[in-house]
Chains A and B, each alone.
Chain A
Amino acid sequence: MAQPLVKKDDDRDEEVDYSPFMGIEKGAVLQEARVFNDPQLDARKCSQVITKLLYLLNQGETFTKFEATDVFFAVTKLFQSKDIGLRRMVYLMIKEISPSADEVIIVTSSLMKDMNSRTDMYRANAIRVLCRIIDGTLLTQIERYLKQAIVDKNPVVASAALVSGIHLLQTTPEIVKRWSNEVQEAVQSRAALVQFHALALLHQIRQNDRLAISKLVTSLTKGTVRSPLAQCLLIRYTSQVIRESGVNSQTVDRPFYDYLEGCLRHKAEMVIFEAAKAITELSNVTTRELTPAITVLQLFLSSSKPVLRFAAVRTLNKVAMTHPMPVTSCNIDMESLISDQNRSIATLAITTLLKTGNESSVDRLMKQITNFMSDIADEFKIVVVEAIRSLCLKFPLKYRSLMNFLSNILREEGGFDYKKAIVDSIVILIRDIPDAKESGLLHLCEFIEDCEFTYLSTQILHFLGNEGPKTSDPSKYIRYIYNRVILENATVRASAVSTLAKFGAMVDTLKPRVFILLRRCLFDNDDEVRDRATLYLNTLGDGSVTETHKDVKDFLFGSFDIPLTNLEITLKNYLQNPAEKPFDITSVPREVKSQPLAEKKATGKKPTGLGAPPPPPTSAADAYERILTAIPEFASFGKLFKSSAPVELTEAETEYAVNVVKHIFDSHVVFQYNCTNTIAEQLLENVTVVVDASEAEEFSEVGTKPIKSLPYDTPAQTFVAYEKPEGIPAIGKFSNTLRFTVKEVDTSTGEAEDDGVEDEYQLEDFEVVAADYILKVGVSNFKNAWESMDAESERVDEYGLGARESLTEAVNAVINLLGMQPCEGTEVVTSNSRSHTCLLSGVYIGNVKVLVRLSFGIDGSKDVAMKLAVRSDDVNVSDVIHEIVASG
């Protein structure tokens, strides 16, 4: 603000009195608009009225259909005036009113006349207005003029036509695509902005033609591009071509990389940044390629412009997720950004440091963050909490200081979302780091002593009920839980009663004492609390130290595996058709109806983050287990051991998108094929996947579950189950064909034809590999875990891995082959190092713990040698790991 505060306030009082729009009213302005009909037009007066109308529109005022028509007709009269200023206002006004299709005809002749006018600026503006208001049929009439305009000598006319083309491409692509010759010519224009607009339009016209885009990029990267904006577009298109060429830089030099690198030396910051960003986003980017980009981004970090600092730190933050090592060189600059006035920049700097920091710097960082947390908003705090959670999972040995930090901030002031993020983080840490369990549970207990959020209190009580009884001294939690029964609202009290009962059911020695507490709850003034207490007292036995029957536990605390929506529908049907027979819960279907994709997208699109908090996180494994147990045919397979990440079986943008998830059970494997039909004009029925397992001899098919109906854009799953020898890591290759009945759909009514045609669609093959039988499970202290395992179970051998691009590549290859969890950040190889040790941990099928210690060495000719030491609970499993590596 340029002026001193007091003076400005004085000014403002004055200004408010004299504001030209003081007391402006729509009705009055519409009256004033009658001057447009005067035979002798007063251009100045008319301009003033248009300004008022614009002001109203910009304030969010809306005109009724009648008012808009009235104003539009009146404005068209103004074409009679020769006043240039007024004409410019008229163009703007017509665009703002956007007349309806039946009114457009009134103004088209005037605009077409202007479009052929000798005055260039009339032409440019008329083009812009016409393109805003006309439809396809009128467009064909003026197409000839537009094509001429694209190559007009006047850059304003050419730009107007090109930008109009970009907008018209959305509505009438078939017409605009015919202009590509002219647009191609405009790309060579000497006027910077014309070139920018032409390049954008040409790319959009040819976006589905990879070869044409590649040619365009090749010619332009060699030629001259005049504006920085166009250069940025070219960089984006170039990285698209690189992406689609799929060249792996490990073996061959990447095409166009030199061009991107050259742009890092451009004089415009915008271009430098765009090139740096493009390089960091290259797939499988190497450290050598990254280095120059990171160097320029590092320079931006100390720029005086906040926008540049923000852009640089945001990009480095992303790079740090995949390549933390090269970013460490920016750590000093990054640390100085922690005190940046812009809190977005500071938060990004902190979270980047958390990703790039090593184990020894954690404590120092935590100290800095503690000071920083007090003066940022909740939304930024949530980002920091999430970063700390991932850091803790990366360095489990540091759980003590990180957990302390989380519990400290949990005690401070904060809104629901923030507190929820902290609680979720502590819960995840407790689940993943066994050593952190007891202290974590105590932190949560202390938090609920003074928690203002009912939702969080109940969530924690539920979690406490599941985890508390399994700890070494469950009795110490009882006090916290019973306090809730005395001090809280009814919802929390009811929750606390259930948690108490869980302790009673799981810990026999506590049962008599829990019974005493539950009996007190019988006098609660809330129905639900009393009902729960009564239920538990009558089912858990007589209150003596006896084991609770398994059926009782299942009944009280087992998971409810019927989808609630299905239950609701069945109950409603039952009520509508009353029957003598009592309601039978087994009649409720257990299939989960998939949600249409469009709906999901809509709910995910919240521009400002305002809205209801998201549902509590459930892991993918839980979700899969629920889906599978709901299918009766698979219910007998026992406990799900592991589900793989989805493997794509189709290329992007094909008619049908299919991926497969491999679910491994003890003696079965279930393939879950997630199918999406991307053609609006088709309905698929009886969709199955026919699997050829001739290259997987140990597997025999036991059942399939087809998709009854697969409408457009609504993903659904079909399953195929195989039996395999129990406990053995059978491997093999599976070929797949999608088989279905296809029916035509009338997209206007959404109805499908009655008759369908059988059809097939070839899918990619996939394999079941050894890594599918190993679960990624980390250990908090590898050394302790290694030493606590029987040294007799150790198997050591050496392997030659042949010539490799780098040590990192060799390390990643072995990690992926074994599918185990890297521990203590050892998956990251220091650049230029010649040897590396990587520690892996996992659980082999049959619940056998396995630890692996890999020592790598690389020589001058890039030959990599590896020593593999394995310890496990079962010596046979140690041998199996060696077999996997030997055959991989």
Chain B
Amino acid sequence: CLRYAVLIGDALQQILASSIRPAPLLTATPVRTLVDEQACIKASFLPSNHPVTVCARMRSDEGDLWQSFAHYNTNSRGTFDLNSDLSVGGSYSGCEPMGLFWSMQPAPGERDGLRLRKKCVESPYTVHISLLEGHVSPNQEPVKELAAVTAERWYMAPGVKRQEIRQNGLVGTLFIPPGPGPFPAMLDMWGMGGGLPEYRSSLFASRGYASFCLAYVGHKDLPGPPNTINVRDSYFQAAFQFLQDHSHIAADKVGIVGLSYGCYLTFHTATLAGVKPACLIGINGPVGSSREILRVNSLLSLKHILCILQILMKPLVLMQLEEITCPLMYIVGEDDLSVLSIENADLIEETLRAAGKSHLFTRLSYPGAGHLIEPPYSPMSRATFIFFSCSVMTVWGGHPAPHAAAQEDAWKKMLEFMELNLRR
């Protein structure tokens, strides 16, 4: 009888609590940010020393649901602040102000092998951040949502102009910052996944650099079959020239950046006739060694291996790195399972040292980081399906927390490197 009374008392207390007290307050400041900016998440008007869960959810452009969550305890004042407090469980642990963003993974039940890449950079990711009662997983029923806030994450600052470029055979998108110019610029290339990812270029433009992301494989507007590279050196020369000739771009302040095979193209383009970049940034990319470009992963099928090696064998000489005359930054994810980044970095360093050009070389090396070093706070995927075959997974490597730290630090250093070499 007493136990029954206690149960009723608890239930009444809960009903009364929600009818007497308003919901607690959950805030994100600012609510609209660029993807490489931090948002400060706090909650107040909660009971003191109380367990809560913060959960973040958003849909990719393809409609997949990504989510993360973390467990916190409020302090004696009934508040918590992700900038200073510790997560005690969930998608990440410890003090991680941006943990909710970089630790997102596809929600249970979503498709396998997904990678989060924004297709449309002119619209934001809308992130629904909610506060749940107790230390729970957001997918267990029932879940009591106490409060919520909506944050927008943008890849483009207001005033940045986006132009699709289809001229002189070039396939790419040019982003120009607001203002009269002329602007320093970057030629921006991605890896063998192909297509035309625009999001790094739009972020560069949001930081005051004109940026031209260039497609070279796997794009409908390029000639020939989509799974081979059908453009030659002249294509990349034309892309660099396009930037130099542009009325809004300072011709002597054009750099090149590339990830993965885009990194190979970055260094290769820099050695072509008539191309004088002001700086180069390569991320986890091959530099043309004859035998050990790719560590062949046991998950790849034979057909697939042949396909990739065929493409990379084509202009297969050790690149004339000693011809490079501008500062070069090479970024290594030490847990890169798709490219031998450390070995490639060593090769560059040795070549430049032998040519008396060590002063041009900067190496950033990140333990625990994988192949796909993306803009900061982006979720990472340890393995995903790659472009030309949905039944084959490529393992990229990387572990969430060190990879996230690498993305944040690398981006900052990339921008500082660009500032130093393209503005001063």
> Does chain A bind chain B?
no
